[in-house]
Chain A
């Protein structure tokens, strides 16, 4: 049993799954559009949570939130089911495929056999689509891969019931009830408003304030935790920004692509203009990553390199503050 399903590669798993699922249901929506409408751009610094033995920095909201917000703005419903029983989880999935519904699945990355070693961590908020079964094996469309793949039932069970933070608990989800018409203008404005509010939030660890807090912390790291650990923190920060399927520059390029598409769609030239500025900010994030990685590679560094990194991040925060204030006015 196979469902007719077209696989599109994407930069980030959650937007990719959202976009793939909706396109297959007949609602044309690109990955940047799904990301933007889901208000996916975010920044949060959680110094008290350690990921890979370094303070957690996230460039996106909690897993699942992007798709939920997207669904809300488009006026469609998403059904989510979690399981405690493993056999039941598989049975329901098989049943949904038999009914011709491709399902989005939340899975853990560590046991995914087709991922390279360098990407396999206990990160449990990865998303993929199961769209069929061939013999015993499940047909899988993982949005970050170029082509579709297959997983054996055992492998699939293992990744669906990965444990730890954000344990997926075999979660499956699929859209039900698609809207007849979509009010794009309203959806886009609401989504942008939410992103502006997030990034300019008066909370010290969120948005541009979060960036400033990190910038201040970078200067203190070498004294507080020692050189090697400070460099490890920096390396993890760059990993979060560039590696975890962000499409480059901590999602800034996807967001710029969204602004361009949205601006053209609803005929708002201001958004198209601002898209260019976002691209420039994204480029500066890439430069920041290059400099931070260089500090790591050199190993022995004076205090001044941390100060200059901190300044770079401060200026990024300033630019983004200006940017989101302008964006708020543009809508």
Chain B
């Protein structure tokens, strides 16, 4: 990459006033560092990722509303977590967390267990309980 070719496209970095460091070759063929405000190709894949997360959240919301899954699934997606990450945050085994995905099991959980989930999601137990996926 030549120094003059370092992309200066619009991106989320620019909105946050952050610039990224790149390595590029100057006219004499020496390597120098250059700041880039973003690259369209990168923005495309980032938007792709965010779009996919958005879709997963909407899907989870609908499933909660229809009573297929418990709100834990929604908040897991909202916090961009996967199974492994959630299990680690609440320090429970996967089969136990999976069981809590079932609304019938979830509704019988005590506050102590719910608190662990609420902490992992950075919300209060009341907020977790109040979520029905309807609003």
Contact = CB atoms under 8 A, between A and B. Distances in A.
Contacts of B4: none
Interface stretch (A84-92, A173-181, A188-196, A281-289): A281-289
A116 B15 contact: yes
Given A164-B84, A235-B48, A289-B41, A283 B21 contact: no
A247 B42 contact: no
A134 interface: no
A276 B29 contact: yes
Contacts of A282: 1
A239 B49 contact: yes
Contacts of B21: 9-11, 144, 247
Contacts of B39: 242
A238 interface: yes
Nearest to B36: A248
Contact of A293 (B16, B33, B44, B52): B44
A206 interface: no
Interface string B20-49: 111111000111010100010110111011
A261 B41 contact: no
Interface string A102-131: 000000001000001111111000000000
A293 B23 contact: no
B23 to A, nearest CB: 4
Contacts of A165: 84-85
B23 A257 contact: yes
Interface residues of B, number: 36
B30 A116 contact: no
Contact of A253 (B23, B44, B48, B85): B23
A11 B20 contact: yes
A118 B1 contact: no
Contacts of B24: 248, 253
A118 B84 CA distance: 21
B44 A243 contact: no
A296 B23 contact: no
B128 interface: no
B123 interface: no
Q: Looking at chain A's contact residues, is the secondary structure mostly helix, strand, loop, or mixed? A: helix
A52 B81 contact: no
Given A248-B23, A249-B1, A118 B12 contact: yes
A296 B25 contact: no
A11 B22 contact: yes
B80 interface: yes
Contacts of A293: 41, 44-45
A224 B85 CA distance: 27
B1 A242 contact: no
Contacts of A231: 48
B82 interface: yes
B109 interface: no
B1 A232 contact: no
Interface string B57-82: 00000000000000000000001111
6 contacts: A118-B50, A167-B88, A236-B45, A253-B24, A253-B31, A297-B44
Interface of B: 1, 12-13, 15-16, 18-25, 29-31, 33, 35, 39, 41-42, 44-46, 48-50, 52, 79-82, 84-85, 88-89
The 4 lowest CB-CB distance pairs between A and B, nearest first, are A163-B88, A164-B85, A257-B31, A235-B48
Interface of A: 9-11, 32, 50, 52-53, 110, 116-122, 144-146, 163-165, 167, 231-232, 235-236, 238-239, 242-243, 247-249, 253-254, 256-257, 260-261, 275-276, 279, 282-283, 286, 289-290, 293, 296-297
